[in-house]
Amino acid sequence: MQDERFGIQKEMYRGQQYSQIYFARLHLMRTMLYSLIPNWKVHLPVCTVLGLEEGKECIIVGTIYKHMKLKPSILDEYSKERSTTPLVKPHNFVSSDDYLVLEDESGRVKLCGALLLPSVFVTGIVVALHGKETGAGDFMVEDILEAGFPHQIERPLVSGEDKYVVFVSGLSVGGSSSNPLQFQLFIDHITGHLGDEKEQSFAARIVQVVVAGNSVEYPRTLLNGQNLSSKDQSRLSEPIKELDILLTQIAAGIPLDIMPGPDDPANFSLPQQALHRCLFPGSSAFNTFRSCSNPHSFELDNVSFLGTSGQNIDDLEKYSDASDKLGFMERTLRWRHLAPTAPNTLGCYPFTDRDPFFIETCPHVYFVGNQEKYQSRLIKGSEGQVVRLICIPRFVETGTAVVLNMRNLECHTVSFGAEFST
């Protein structure tokens, strides 16, 4: 497992602000972009924002800040001017008035030019820009250099044997719309207790199950900050007890990784730390059971996996536009950053000397949980990198799990509902 970088056990919170994580990100990404510039525009000088001269072509490297008129602000809730008008809560905060600013330690400059679409970018990305300062003091962008896909460790030549990894997400055990029978069908299917010989031979080749967040759901009425009666306390512990009973059946036969999600009993901000093993007295008795962080990074048979419970992609969807969720996922790889909107609009721990969300090596499989529907695509990088992107749908709504064949990175779904289908 490669989740050490997402751990915050040795970090000390001394009241630090978020500027340090941005400095760490800028320093790390700028060093890497500088190494790419000679192959991009070797003849142009690299300037700081403060060193820009009107009409002189150059390259500047910095962090993008996106000015958004519709972005919610906590101050708006208390402003007198808006007290009579209801706050807008759109699904997406992008508007035609948005504009981008590039910032480094020396200053900031507003960006202009048809090449740079504000709807595509978000606050927190580090890029190199070729252009020149205009008379108005803006920077006219003529070309963009993004970090690009990171280096990928080559996948070994695989034998003819199929090996499967099963992804499931959004179980919401204990929720009003949760169907225990549906999840039990799923468990019986993957543990080989259901189906004919063909299905059982498939189950025998499952080498890993990954539960990607939002495994339990608590009644909102109990989470109101009031002292709980003993009856309510037992109600609060029921979903996790039920989940443990179900997961024990999987862990008894198949390696199982469980990641926390936004609705689980874990810290809210990213990286979410692993759910405590004491929550799973039954499952944790097996050495096949691993409680993991979110994001989660691991390797199986030299195939590398990287994934989240969905918060990073859901946040990108609020503050930028793409044709689908896979488009946002591809951008995070191209920007070499798992959660570029953290800490601006996505909660994250205020790291001081590192940015754990920087993607150092390109995964072979990149997954996000708790999505509306299943989507998958195989994408290729400029240096031959091949990545399987997977959106895992919420099981409680769709009854669908995703199966990946490690031999060829092909994907299919298994659905359990009123009718059983694969």
pLDDT in tens, 34-67: 999 999 998 999 999 999 999 999 999 999 999 9
Query: What is the rounded CA–CA span in Å between residue 218 and residue 241?
Result: 12
Q: CB count, 10 Å around CB of 287? A: 8
pLDDT tens sequence across 317-355: 999 999 899 999 999 999 999 999 999 999 999 998 899
pTM of the predicted model over 0.75: yes
Q: How many CA atoms lie within 13 A of 53 on its CB side?
A: 6
Q: How far is CA 234 from CA 230, 231, 262, in A?
A: 6, 5, 22
Q: Which residues partner with 270 through β-bridges?
A: 348
Distance CA 178, CA 398 (A): 11
> What residues contact 49, with CB distance under 8 A and at least 6 apart?
60, 62, 102, 103, 104, 106, 107, 108, 109
Q: How far apart, in whole angstroms, are the C-alpha atoms of residue 86 and residue 397?
A: 31
Residues in the chain: 422
DSSP 415: E
The pLDDT of residue 82 is above 60: no
DSSP 75: G
244 vs 239: CA distance, rounded Å: 9
Closest residue by Cα to residue 8 from 293, 207, 390, 383: 293
Side chain identity at 260, as an amino acid letter? Answer: P
What mean pLDDT do residues 209-215 have?
96
Q: What is the pLDDT of residue 46?
A: 95
Least confident of 62-66, 147-151, 416-420: 416-420
Record the tokens describing residue 248, joined without a space: 């024990």
